[in-house]
Amino acid sequence: MWRKRLVPLLAGCAGVLALVLDIRAPVYADHGAPEAVITGAGAHFAWVIFDRLRFDLEKVAGHPIKLYGRNSTLGMGCNAGIKTALQNRPHHQTFGFVCCPLDEDEVKRKKLRVYPIAVEPILIVVNQDNPVHDLSAEQVRAMMRGDIVNWKEVGGLDEPVVVVTRLHCKKRPGHWKTILPEAGEFRSQRLNVSSAGDMVQRVGDFRGALGHIGSTWDFGPGSHVRAITVGGVAPTADNLRSGRYPFFRQLAAVTNEHPSREVLAIIREVQQGPAFRRVAARYQLLPAAEPGKPAP
């Protein structure tokens, strides 16, 4: 079932930022002509990819690039990514990036173009002091619903389950909806957070916490949070490809209907460039295009 749901996600998706951005002043080359800055903005988990590839992207575009979206702060996120993409015009080149798929109606209504980049595992995370290292998919869902309220019911400590959620982009398909399809199905007594950083902070605060986060999040050496396996299956690209790992979302770039050649070169490099393959391997992303094949 999950494999069938994964295929259409590879064909299209998006989401981006709703914030008016300050564009840095033009940088002047030696010959005196201004180098127009290309601005990209959106959700943190897609921002990580673009940020890691910045040098390669500036090289293929021939322009400096300004990126917004670290930890989706300052109003950044999928909606802001879309708004940024729609600000594109001559001499003001912009694009967005999202961590949630967009349905066909939203794409047509907002006159967008979507460029799938990769499928990202959604990690199920617990406090470092929690002795549980594996839960079945149904146990995860039961805990998120509130059907299981104590860790001793799944072989853990006699500790209340503290559900931590970040239920963004509620009207869009995919992402956390691979856990439970509607926000109303999650336990009413839960901690709702507004950013990935807050998710990590809260799960680290409570020994009984259970949360979810994308695989591109860098926890850092001082983190008190770790990912668990689901039904004995690790959140890897290979397990996404085979359909064995059940929780995931689509990362994508988004533009208006008339992107410039430079913006298209940036997106193409992210989809197919060799440096992207290294980033994908680091974060266990499943690229939208396999090596040697064009992206959808």
Q: Tell me, yes or no, whether 126 lies in a domain.
A: yes
For residues 163 and 211, give the distance between their C-alpha atoms in angstroms, rounded to a whole number: 6
What CATH number corresponds to the domain at position 23?
3.40.190.10
293 belongs to a structural domain: no
Q: Is the domain of 64 the same as that of 168?
A: no
Claim to verify: residue 133 and residue 164 sit in the same structural domain: yes
Tokens of 64: 């400096």
Q: Where are the beta strands (DSSP E) in 128-247?
A: 134-135, 162-165, 191-192, 209-214, 225-227, 229-230
pLDDT of residue 40 exceeding 50, the answer is yes
Whether the per-residue pLDDT at 125 is higher than 50: the answer is yes
70 & 149 share domain = no
Say whether both 124 and 237 belong to one domain: yes
Residue 113 lies in a domain: yes
Which has the higher per-residue pLDDT, 190 or 73?
Answer: 190
pLDDT grade for 9, boundaries at 50, 70 and 90: very low
Coil, strand or helix: which one is 254? strand
- Domain assignment present for residue 296? The answer is no
Do 169 and 71 share a structural domain? no
My answer on whether 57 and 9 are in the same domain is yes
For the chain, the first-to-last Cα distance in angstroms comes to 22
Confidence (pLDDT) at 35: 62
Residues 110 and 124 grouped into a single domain: no
- Specify whether 184 is located in the same domain as 214: yes
Task: Decide if 256 contacts 112 (C-beta within 8 A).
Answer: yes
Considering its fold, how many domains does the chain have in total? 2
Q: Tell whether 98 and 130 lie within a shared domain.
A: no
Range of the domain at 105: 2-119+250-287
Q: Residue 81: which residues within 8 A CB-CB, separation 6 or more?
A: 14, 15, 16, 17, 41, 42, 43, 46, 69, 96, 97, 98, 254
My answer on whether 212 and 157 are in the same domain is: yes
- Judgement on whether residues 109 and 171 belong to the same structural domain of the protein: no
Whether residues 187 and 256 share a domain: the answer is no
Residue 172 in this model has a pLDDT that exceeds 70 = yes
Among 53-62, 213-222, 262-271, the minimum mean pLDDT is found in: 213-222
pLDDT band at 173 (very low <50, low <70, confident <90, very high): confident
Bridge partner list, 231: none
Over residues 211-243, the pLDDT tens digits come to 999 999 999 888 999 999 999 999 999 999 999
- Cβ 90 vs Cβ 38: under 8 Å: no
Question: Can you tell me whether residue 206 is helix, strand or coil?
Answer: coil
Q: Is residue 295 part of a domain?
A: no
- Residue matched to tokens 């393959």: 277
